[in-house]
Amino acid sequence: MAIHSLTTYPASSLLLPPRKLIKSSFIQCCKTQNESIELSTNGKASFPEKSLQKQPSNNRPPRPRRIILVRHGQSQGNVDESVYTRIADPKIALTEKGKAQAEECGKRIREMIEKDEADDWKVYFYVSPYKRTRETLQNLARAFERSRIAGMREEPRLREQDFGNFQDRERMRAEKAIRMLYGRFFFRFPNGESAADVYDRVTGFRETLRADIDIGRFQPPGEQSPNMNLVIVSHGLTLRVFLMRWYKWTVEQYEKLHNFGNGGMVVMERGFGGRYSLLMHHTEEELKEFGLTDEMLMDQEWQKFARPGELNYDFPMMNSFFTHFKHDDCQ
């Protein structure tokens, strides 16, 4: 089931109460409190990520206001599966409808940003190198003049799941049927990838993204605006795996998620403590339609108020995973 409604509604009043915040503890790794660990300069090489560790947190660039995940518009392969048998997956283009969907998505993103009533907002794009995602970005970006675009980066780790070069239509149908029996996350297509493989490369991209955020690499020189918006243009499965990795969802939780529609978007917005929560923009109903459970929604509510570096010690999944807890309560 494709989710088309994850883009149009502001977050409603929530039924879930705010979770109690608990400060994370720190492990002392030095022999004494006065000793410290020196960071290697690695010769004369310069690594901003390392020098960042020496900076007080209040000197760090402000975190972007949003991370917006956009699925590409309708492609030739979405309307005719036989295209995959004669055109390489990375070369499959958008349909005219897909281009219109991308342009409309750009307008929705701009309308959402302009509601902030900030004068210095900008957008920075990360995009999969596939033709349909690059065409999506080209049409989406029509909503923004040059002064609003801070930059863009083509990122191969955001590519679609590899299904194994040119695809035989009947064989792929059989493989997808086997995937449903084996499990959507771990099943690997012949000469291709599993969702677990995508998870591994998305993990690498996530670390790059976090470094970019901490350093403010996408900010124009000399600027420290809190109104930067990051837009990631990619593919349905890749974006679901990205969310899984970011929020540490389980395999079981991932397999209950639904794809969102072509040209659709999911918005991770900075909460009151600095972390990103889906509930800052989306309603509970939208997220349930996407496939989030009550436990996942409770964690998103916690994300709204938590600060970077804090851990959710009251994460409800612990109670369902460690079933012996209920016996402790009875003692």
Catalytic annotation on 72? yes
171 is in an annotated binding site: no
User: Which backbone phi and psi does 62 adopt, to 5 degrees?
Assistant: -65, 145
Catalytic annotation on 160? yes
Residue matched to tokens 């503890």: 25
CB atoms within 10 A of CB 180: 9
77 is in an annotated binding site: yes
Any long-range contacts for 23-31 (C-beta under 8 Å, 24+ apart)? 23/310, 24/309, 24/310, 24/311
324 is in an annotated binding site: no
Cα 68 from Cα 66, distance rounded (Å): 6
78 is in an annotated binding site: yes
Cβ–Cβ < 8 Å for 109, 68: yes
Residue matched to tokens 């509970």: 284
76 is in an annotated binding site: yes
66 is in an annotated binding site: no
19 is in an annotated binding site: no
What residue ranges in 200-255 does DSSP mark as E strands?
228-234
CB atoms within 10 A of CB 162: 16
List residues bridging with 60 in a β-sheet: none
Q: Which amino acid is at 74?
A: Q
Catalytic residue among 155, 160, 175, 269: 160
For the annotated binding site, the residues are 71-78, 132
Catalytic positions are 72, 160
For the annotated binding site for substrate, the residues are 71-78, 132
